[in-house]
Chain A
Amino acid sequence: MSVEVAVFILRLLAGLSLIGFLALLFAIVWRSMRQSERQLAMARAARGYLTRQTRGSSQPDGAGERYPLRAITTLGRSASNTVVVEDDFASGEHAWIVLEDGQWWLEDRRSRNGTRLNDAAIQQRAILADGDVIGIGRFSYRLSLGTEEIP
């Protein structure tokens, strides 16, 4: 009698620990797949560059020049910036583009004349997408995101 009870308890233990093993196994695989999915998305988004646009008659030199994006890309007039904007209407530290949670964000750094995103001045930080045009002073930059290498 007592042996039967003990065997039954052991059966229960075996079954439960088996279910626990399988559940944990699937949880671990699920987590690692989610993680690699996120990392793939980030790796895809993490490649990008800015192209300086030609603009109207007041065309500055160096149109078409490309700037690869970094995790923090700063734009402004002073020489310490990643992208130096040689324009009187640009502030020394004008704006920056940062990579957060797999997204590129544009943020104005309290510049005097403001930063435009697709010809509209931004009030707060904004998520960027492929093909967006960022305007600083008389300059504008087209953003390219994607898997292709920088030429």
Chain B
Amino acid sequence: MRPPAPASASERHHRLLLVFAGMSVFAGMAAIALTRPAGPNVWPGLAIWTACALAGATLLNRYLPARDRLLFPLAIFLSGWGLVAIERLAPPFADRQALWLVISVAAMLFAALFPQLLRWLRVYRYLVLAAALLLLLATIVFGRNPSGFDFAPRLWLNVGAVYFQPSEIMKVILVAFMASYLGEQSAASGANPGDAANRHPYLPRLAGPILSMWLLSLVILIWQRDLGAAMLFFIVFLLLLYLTTCDLRILFGGALLIILAAAVAYHLFDVVKLRVDIWLDPWPEADGRAYQIVQSLMAFSAGGIFGTGAGLGSPFYIPVAHSDFVFAALAEEWGLLGVVGVLSSFAVLAHRGLSIAQRHSGRAFHKLLAAGLTLMLITQALMIMAGVLKLLPLTGVTLPFISYGGSSLLVCFIMIGLLLRLSASAAPRPRSGAR
């Protein structure tokens, strides 16, 4: 009888992964501290991040050993880089973001370790959805913007000095709602969804109630001018519907609907018109309305392959770089290497999340929930990264884990927590014989 050597080897690899993540975050923080001798202290942020990483890894190892072992290192690595970027770009916000990281990791552990949560999300879905919609309605009435400007979108609710964005928590709740609803429908019809004969009676029953739910939330979101979130919700909804029905027409029809909506919105909303115009050709207005996107492209080109080095670039040319444009600032100081790092991390996240969904064959709710959460994170990341690179019109969503924003970070970590929970309850892979 050999001791379980392969397990301990992979255990060592995953620990080493965290060590590498910690080293790069430390090096970034230290470089910022050295190049900014008179600036605010960076060490509390680093200490909080390290504590979060260690506590999260230790607790997950102890209470959820059967989980997917890459999800947490990836999330904590990306959020560590986010902290470095915020420390660099907007030092006054860094400590606040570090505190949100503590809350987020705690919430992730709760979502991962609390056994009833998945069942509650399924059983009380209408209640949860109603509560979330109520929060959104409250945002329309009482909404604020932390910056205090009158023209800025009022997407936040506040309790004292703590601001929260209800459309963020809506991401988790809508995915959970759709997963449980679609899962129930496909189970009730009992049909093989890929079967052509079953498509026609099956589709309207699926689409009807959900489309009306969608219209409702979309109206609310467009009302609030939060177009990025509306777009994101609709794309993820389409992808989930496609996963349930295996019907390609959903994707084509959905793309058509998006183009139609974009054409209508182009004429109705000034924001959309602006975004599309500067996407098609930013150069005539490089000093005016397209200033941000042009500076973002400049930052990418300034970064080169290895970047200018943490603390040595000049990312302040990009207005409010710490939220939506954090990817551009990262590209400048860390170069192509950093961009590849972020992209690979998200790619591996997508791969692991979708393979969790794949292992839940036969349990529609779990499968769709895992796929939906992964798609939500990845679609959001792709939308903003492509927007910053001028591959797509800019949609104001945050870059998951990295951008400044407490509610965004919190919700991303809750999603990771749910994915961890789902990975632990997935059907175990067949054991590899005698070895």
Contacts and interface: CB of A to CB of B under 8 A. Distances in A.
Q: Do A and B bind each other?
A: yes
B310 interface: yes
A31 B30 CA distance: 34
Interface in A1-60: 3, 6-8, 10-11, 13-15, 17-22, 24-29, 31, 35-36, 38-39, 42-43
Given A10-B34, A14-B310, A28-B13, A22 B340 contact: yes
Q: How large is the interface on B (under 10, 10 to 19, 20 to 34, 35 or more residues)?
A: 35 or more
Q: How large is the interface on A (under 10, 10 to 19, 20 to 34, 35 or more residues)?
A: 20 to 34
Nearest to A24: B17
A96 B340 CA distance: 53
A25 to B, nearest CB: 6
B432 A38 contact: yes
A128 interface: no
A15 B337 contact: yes
B34 A6 contact: yes
Interface string A88-113: 00000000000111000000000000
B34 A18 contact: no
Interface string B120-144: 0000000000000000000000000
B351 A17 contact: no
Contact of A10 (B20, B77, B310, B344): B310
Contacts of A42: 430, 432-433
A20 B20 contact: yes
Contacts of A22: 340-341, 344
Contact of B31 (A7, A38, A100): A7
A36 B351 CA distance: 14
Nearest to B68: A32
Interface in B23-67: 23-24, 27-28, 30-31, 34-35
A50 to B, nearest CB: 21
Nearest to B338: A18
A17 B10 CA distance: 19
B309 interface: yes
B27 A11 contact: yes
B14 A10 contact: no
A2 to B, nearest CB: 10
Given A17-B27, A39-B432, A42-B430, A7 B309 contact: yes
Contacts of B432: 35, 38-39, 42
A11 B309 contact: yes
A69 B92 CA distance: 68
B17 A25 contact: yes
B30 A10 contact: yes
Q: Which 4 pairs of residues, A with B, have the shortest CB-CB distance?
A: A14-B27, A17-B23, A21-B20, A17-B24
Interface of B: 10, 13-14, 16-17, 20-21, 23-24, 27-28, 30-31, 34-35, 70, 74, 77, 306, 309-312, 334, 337-338, 340-341, 344-345, 348, 351, 429-430, 432-433
Interface of A: 3, 6-8, 10-11, 13-15, 17-22, 24-29, 31, 35-36, 38-39, 42-43, 71, 99-101
